């Protein structure tokens, strides 16, 4: 694909709550030109009734310092579905500059109650977006 649409900061901490992004539409200008599908990548979740070339639940999410936070307009992204990889094709020096310029990660500092509890303990999409203290310790192997 020549173009990729990236929606970031829609994960468990960034939104917060990982709300359903719904159908991430083709931009109107492209749809008017006849584009029916394009690669879309996000740390969000989406309705099961939506369709198209979409990679979701990217973790760690942008708001937690994940790689989508470093993507900028014009960057090249390689998607290898067979190898289950997405690579941001930007040199390490540039990525280090971008990472240094990121705003502080969301945490519970200065917050109270549920918001504080949530931001300090929610896990990423790959771990189920649950509170870390709700994950049981594995004490035995089930054959």
**Active-site amino acid positions:** 47
Q: Alpha carbon of 142 to those of 75, 129, 139: distances in Å?
A: 45, 24, 10
Please tell me the predicted confidence (pLDDT) of residue 51.
Answer: 75
Average pLDDT over residues 59-72: 94
pTM: 0.81
pLDDT digits (tens, 9 = 90+) for 101-133: 998 887 888 889 999 999 999 999 999 999 999
**Which domains are seen in the chain, by residue range?**
4-103 (3.50.30.80)
């Amino acid at each position: 694909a020549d173009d990729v649409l990236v929606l970031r900061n829609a994960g468990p901490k960034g939104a917060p709550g990982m709300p359903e992004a719904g159908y991430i539409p083709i931009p109107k200008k492209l749809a008017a030109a006849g584009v029916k599908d394009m690669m879309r990548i996000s740390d969000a979740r989406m309705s099961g009734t939506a369709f198209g070339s979409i990679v979701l639940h990217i973790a760690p999410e942008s708001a937690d310092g994940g790689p989508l936070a470093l993507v900028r307009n014009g960057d090249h992204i390689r998607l290898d579905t067979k190898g289950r990889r997405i690579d941001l094709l930007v040199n390490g020096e540039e990525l280090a500059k971008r990472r240094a310029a990121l705003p502080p990660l969301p945490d519970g500092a200065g917050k109270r109650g549920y918001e504080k509890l949530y931001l300090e303990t929610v896990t990423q999409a790959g771990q189920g977006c649950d509170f870390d203290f709700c994950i049981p310790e594995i004490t035995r192997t089930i054959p």
